[in-house]
């Protein structure tokens, strides 16, 4: 089956007991032992493994061409598990442009824990090579497209750099999604998703996921951390995620097609200084994105409003269809002034508005933003 069919049919699994097309939810937190004190069912306690995870993890592993997948309680729980699987003193590289809360965790927790964290421009291969430390660098973490400027990392090239030094490459592919990007096929070792976003797509759960290229010792440590730290989703959240993934392809394809039109419309606009979107040929990372993102460039873009921070915030204040809210990847279109969210230490430009394009009529979204810009101008 092609990936879109895998997602739509959730691998075609049917509940064996009821023959139901929609899978059951297993809310039980604990499971019965056999009379001889063994667990032949393979289940003992839901913090370790809940049956509701099985199908969602299998679908995601298939979509990413991975060996195994693991669900987590949030994207942050999934991401931090990768770093915590390393040892104090290990050196890791992370991108300068990345999800702000993970950057904050790396700066304020990981370094105090003993990890050596170095932030580099992941669009510059020479900078990555120069930052590598022989026998010390254990992980390169990257994010592509990178929130909120949508910088593109050449995953194939960075994978070669990582593996030559004996390090692993982990990729936050939340925005790329398996619809457009399969990092494992490009040489990555681990893929992370904030499942809250596009995988679920309905803004009604918090979740995260990791997919591994190999079920090796490192992956076993990550799975063990999930149990020990308790970063597991509830059964209902896992069920909602599976439901959301079944519409992943039509949702993401619709959003990306709309984002492309919106980006092209506002490029060169009198009140917009920059449109940041990998699908624009003028975008610095367009050539790499066109090579490793198959079929589209994602549903996220940012615009920088002429007039600075005040004009950007005023523009967001005047929209009616776009919703002023955080998060990305839902069916509704969201707009956010990112610098306000990330705080005084943010590298995000103060005139930037981040746009998460949903599945509404594209012309309505364009007209709404045009009206907001017009109101600010007047």
C-alpha neighbours within 13 Å on the C-beta side of residue 345: 7
210 token code pair: 């990791």
Give the single-character DSSP code of 108. Answer: I
Q: Of how many residues is the chain composed?
A: 378
47 is catalytic: yes
Q: Strand, helix or coil at 304? A: strand
Return d(Cα 93, Cα 141) in angstroms, integer: 6
Give the single-character DSSP code of 25. Answer: P
Q: Strand, helix or coil at 72? A: strand
Of the residues 47, 129, 221, 306, only one is catalytic, namely 47
Nearest to 326 by CA among 158, 185, 161, 148: 148
Of the residues 172, 189, 351, 368, only one is catalytic, namely 172
Contact 157, 292 (CB under 8 A): no
End-to-end distance of the chain based on CA atoms, in angstroms?
A: 54
Burial of 341 (0-12, 13-18, 19+ CB in 10 A): middle
45 is catalytic: no
- Name the H helices within the chain: 3-9, 53-63, 75-84, 100-105, 111-113, 125-131, 155-164, 177-180, 217-229, 235-245, 248-266, 286-292, 308-317, 338-342, 362-377
131 token code pair: 């930052």
197 is catalytic: yes
351 token code pair: 């005139």
Contact 173, 183 (CB under 8 A): yes
Of the residues 53, 99, 198, 277, only one is catalytic, namely 99
53 is catalytic: no
In the sheet where 334-337 sits, what is the strand order? 272-276, 300-305, 352-356, 334-337, 323-324
Catalytic residue list: 47, 99, 172, 197
């Amino acid at each position: 089956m092609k990936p879109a069919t895998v997602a739509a049919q959730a691998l075609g699994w049917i509940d064996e007991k009821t023959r139901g097309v929609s899978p059951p939810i297993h809310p039980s937190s604990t499971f019965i032992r056999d009379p001889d004190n063994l667990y032949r069912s393979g289940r003992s306690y839901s913090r370790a493994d809940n049956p509701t995870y099985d199908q969602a993890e299998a679908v995601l592993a298939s979509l990413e061409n991975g060996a195994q997948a693991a669900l987590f309680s949030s994207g942050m729980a999934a991401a931090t598990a990768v770093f915590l699987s390393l040892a104090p003193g290990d050196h890791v590289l992370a991108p300068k442009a990345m999800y702000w809360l993970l950057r904050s965790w790396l700066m304020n927790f990981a370094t105090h824990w003993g990890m050596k964290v170095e932030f580099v421009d992941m669009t510059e291969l020479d900078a990555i090579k120069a930052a590598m430390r022989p026998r010390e660098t254990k992980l390169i973490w990257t994010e592509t497209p990178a929130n909120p400027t949508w910088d593109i990392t050449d995953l194939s090239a960075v994978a070669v750099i990582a593996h030559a030094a004996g390090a692993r490459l982990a990729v936050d592919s939340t925005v790329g999604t398996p619809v457009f990007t399969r990092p494992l096929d490009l040489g990555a070792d681990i893929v992370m998703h904030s499942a809250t976003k596009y995988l679920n797509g309905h803004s009604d759960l918090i979740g995260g996921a990791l997919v591994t290229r190999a079920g090796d010792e490192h992956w076993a440590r990550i799975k063990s951390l999930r149990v020990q730290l308790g970063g597991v989703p509830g059964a209902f959240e896992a069920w909602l995620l599976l439901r959301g993934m079944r519409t992943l392809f039509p949702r993401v394809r619709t959003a990306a097609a709309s984002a492309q039109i919106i980006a092209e419309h506002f490029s060169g606009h009198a009140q917009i200084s920059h449109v940041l979107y990998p699908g624009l040929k003028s975008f610095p990372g367009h050539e790499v994105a066109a090579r490793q993102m198959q079929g589209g460039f994602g549903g996220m873009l940012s615009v920088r409003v002429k007039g600075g921070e005040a004009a950007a915030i005023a523009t967001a204040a005047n929209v009616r269809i776009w919703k002023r809210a955080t998060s990305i990847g839902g069916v509704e279109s969201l707009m956010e002034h990112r610098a306000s969210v990330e705080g005084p230490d943010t590298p995000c430009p103060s005139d930037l508005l981040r746009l998460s394009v949903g599945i509404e009529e594209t012309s309505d979204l364009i007209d709404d933003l045009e009206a907001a810009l017009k109101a600010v101008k007047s």
